[in-house]
C-alpha cells in the first residue's frame, strides 16, 4: 500500500486545514494511507510523524492556522538536513509527499524531488506571491480581514478628516495592498513592484486635499519604508497630522473564506490525482478559474506584465484619476 506524507511549511495561511482535509480524503478514496508530518520540514527531520485519518480531519475546514503546525527550518536549508529528511521518509515508507506552503517551501520541495521523492506542492500563503497561479490559499481570507480593518479605520478617519497610512503584509509582493486598496476605496497605493517615493506620496495627498478630500488612506506593503519616517515626512511637508496602522498578524489568522476553502479542496484533490498518475516535481495552481500544474522550475517564470496586479493598478487609477503614477 502506498503511503502519502503531508506537511505545511513557512507562514501559516487560512485554508491550509481545508487542503489537508482534501488530501487525506482523496488519498483514502484511492486506498492510500496518509501520514501527517508535524511542524514542516523540521518535523520531518525530527520524525514527528503520525497517521492522519479522515476521522482526524473531520470538521477542520473552517479553522484557521494549520493542525499540522508549521515552521521555518534552517536545518533543511543545508544538504545534510535534506538528506536526513529523505532517510526519514524512506524509514516511514512514505512514497508520496504533498507540501503546502509558500515560495520557500516550494524550493525545499523541488530539492526533495531532485533527491528522488515524489512530491507535489500546493500554494498556501497569504502573500499571493507566486506568478504562476492567480491565487494562493489564504490570500482571499487575509484580504477580507484587511478590508474589515480598513472599513473601521475609514469610519474614524472620515469623522476626523484624517489621513492614515495602513501597512499590510505581503513580504515583497504588493497583491494584498493593491487588492485591498481597490476594494476598500483607498486613495494611494505603494507596493514593491511600483514603489512611490515620499515626495510623490505627498503630492498625491496634496491633490486629494486640494480637491476637498481630507480623509485619505495610503496603503503600503510591509518592509518598504520605516512607517514612522513616512508619517513624519508627510506631517512636516503638508502640515497635517497622520495616523499609522500596522495590521500585523491578524492578517494571518481567522476562519478561511468560502473561496479559500473551495480552492484548497480542489487543489488538495488535484495533488493526490497527480501523484497517483505518476507525476512529481509539480506545483498545483489556478489560472483563469481552471486548475493547472506546472514544473517547480517554472513557478516564477511568468512575464511580469501578465500580472493581474498591474491591470488592477490601472483600474485603481481610474478611481484616483491623475493621482497614481503608473510607470
Considering CB distances under 5 to 8 angstroms, the limit depending on partner class, which of ligand F6P, ligand ADP, none binds residue 104?
A: ligand ADP
Among 8, 125, 163, 265, binds ligand F6P (CB under 6 A): 125
Window 23-62: residues binding ligand ADP (CB under 6 A): 41
Q: How many CB atoms lie within 10 A of CB 184?
A: 19
Q: Of 9-17, 60-68, 89-97, 232-240, which part binds ligand ADP (CB under 6 A)?
A: 9-17
Dihedral sign for Cα 185, 191, 196, 202, please.
Answer: positive
Residue 127 is assigned to a ligand binding site:
yes
- The residues, any chain, with a CB within 8 Å of residue 305's CB and separated by 6 or more, are none
Cα separation, 111 vs 17, in Å, equals 24
Q: Which of 41, 47, 146, 141 is nearest to 101 (CA)?
A: 41
> Within a 10 A sphere around the Cβ of 316, how many other Cβ atoms?
21
- Catalytic residue (choose from 127, 140, 175, 323): 127
Least Å distance, CB 208 to ligand F6P, is: 28
Q: Which of 150, 299 has the CB closer to ligand ADP?
A: 299
Is 127 annotated in the active site?
yes
Mark out the alpha helices in 162-226 (DSSP H runs): 175-183, 198-210
Q: Does 226 count as an annotated binding residue?
A: no
Q: Check binding of 111 to ligand F6P (CB under 6 A).
A: no
Which has the closest alpha carbon to 121: 301, 305, 317, 285?
A: 285
65 is an interface residue for ligand F6P by CB under 6 A: no
Element (H, E) at 5: strand 3-8
Within 3-42, the residues that bind ligand F6P by CB under 6 A are 11
What's the burial of 95, exposed, middle or buried (CB within 10 Å: 0-12/13-18/19+)? middle
Q: Which among ligand ADP, ligand F6P, none contacts residue 105 (Cβ within 5 to 8 A by kind)?
A: ligand ADP
**H or E element in which residue 233 lies:** helix 227-238
Output the CA torsion sign for 110, 116, 122, 126: negative
> Could you tell me the smallest distance in angstroms from the CB atom of residue 82 to ligand ADP?
7
Does the annotation flag 214 for ligand binding?
A: yes
The site partner of 101 among ligand F6P, ligand ADP, none (C-beta below 5 to 8 Å per kind) is ligand ADP
With 0-12 / 13-18 / 19 or more C-beta atoms within 10 angstroms meaning exposed / middle / buried, residue 199 is exposed
Residue 126's binding partner out of ligand F6P, ligand ADP, none, with CB under 5 to 8 Å set by partner kind: ligand F6P
Site string for ligand ADP, 106-145 (x = CB under 6 A): -xx--x-------------x--------------------
Which of 36, 39, 65, 102 is close enough to bind ligand ADP by CB under 6 A? 102
Sign of CA dihedral 293, 299, 305, 308: positive
Residue 170 lies near ligand F6P (rule: CB under 6 A): yes
What is the contact surface with ligand F6P in residues (CB under 6 A)? 11, 102, 125-127, 169-171, 222, 252
Binding residues, as ranges, are 11, 72-73, 102-105, 125-127, 154, 169-171, 213-215, 222, 243
| Active site members | 127
Amino acid at each position: 500500500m502506498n503511503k502519502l506524507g503531508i506537511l505545511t511549511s513557512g507562514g501559516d495561511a487560512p485554508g491550509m486545514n481545508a487542503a489537508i482535509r482534501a488530501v487525506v480524503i482523496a488519498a483514502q478514496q484511492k486506498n492510500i494511507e496518509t501520514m501527517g508530518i508535524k511542524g514542516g520540514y523540521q518535523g520531518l527531520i525530527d520524525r514527528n510523524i503520525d497517521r492522519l485519518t479522515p476521522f482526524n480531519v473531520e470538521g477542520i475546514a473552517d479553522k484557521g492556522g494549520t493542525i499540522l503546525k508549521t515552521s521555518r527550518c534552517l536545518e533543511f536549508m543545508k544538504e545534510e538536513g535534506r538528506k536526513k529528511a529523505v532517510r526519514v521518509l524512506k524509514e516511514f515508507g512514505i512514497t508520496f509527499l504533498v507540501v503546502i506552503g509558500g515560495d520557500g517551501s516550494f524550493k525545499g520541495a523541488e530539492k526533495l524531488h531532485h533527491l528522488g521523492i515524489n512530491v507535489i506542492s500546493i500554494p498556501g500563503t497569504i502573500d499571493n506571491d507566486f506568478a504562476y497561479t492567480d491565487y494562493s490559499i489564504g490570500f482571499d481570507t487575509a484580504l477580507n480581514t484587511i478590508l474589515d480593518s480598513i472599513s473601521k479605520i475609514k469610519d474614524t478617519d472620515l469623522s476626523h478628516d484624517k489621513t492614515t497610512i495602513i501597512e499590510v503584509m505581503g513580504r515583497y509582493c504588493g497583491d494584498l495592498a493593491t487588492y485591498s486598496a481597490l476594494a476598500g476605496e483607498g486613495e494611494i497605493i505603494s507596493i514593491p513592484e511600483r514603489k512611490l517615493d515620499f515626495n510623490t506620496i505627498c503630492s498625491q495627498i496634496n491633490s486629494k486635499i486640494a480637491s476637498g478630500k481630507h480623509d485619505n488612506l495610503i496603503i503600503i506593503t510591509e518592509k518598504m519604508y520605516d512607517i514612522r519616517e513616512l508619517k513624519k515626512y508627510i506631517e512636516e511637508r503638508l502640515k497635517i497630522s497622520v495616523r499609522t496602522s500596522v495590521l500585523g498578524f491578524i492578517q494571518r489568522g481567522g476562519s478561511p473564506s468560502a473561496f479559500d476553502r473551495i480552492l484548497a479542496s480542489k487543489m488538495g484533490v488535484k495533488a493526490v490525482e497527480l501523484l497517483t498518475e505518476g507525476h512529481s516535481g509539480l506545483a498545483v495552481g489556478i489560472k483563469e478559474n481552471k486548475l493547472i500544474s506546472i514544473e517547480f522550475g517554472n513557478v516564477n517564470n511568468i512575464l511580469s506584465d501578465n500580472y493581474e496586479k498591474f491591470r488592477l493598478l490601472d483600474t485603481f487609477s481610474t478611481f484616483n484619476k491623475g493621482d497614481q503614477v503608473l510607470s
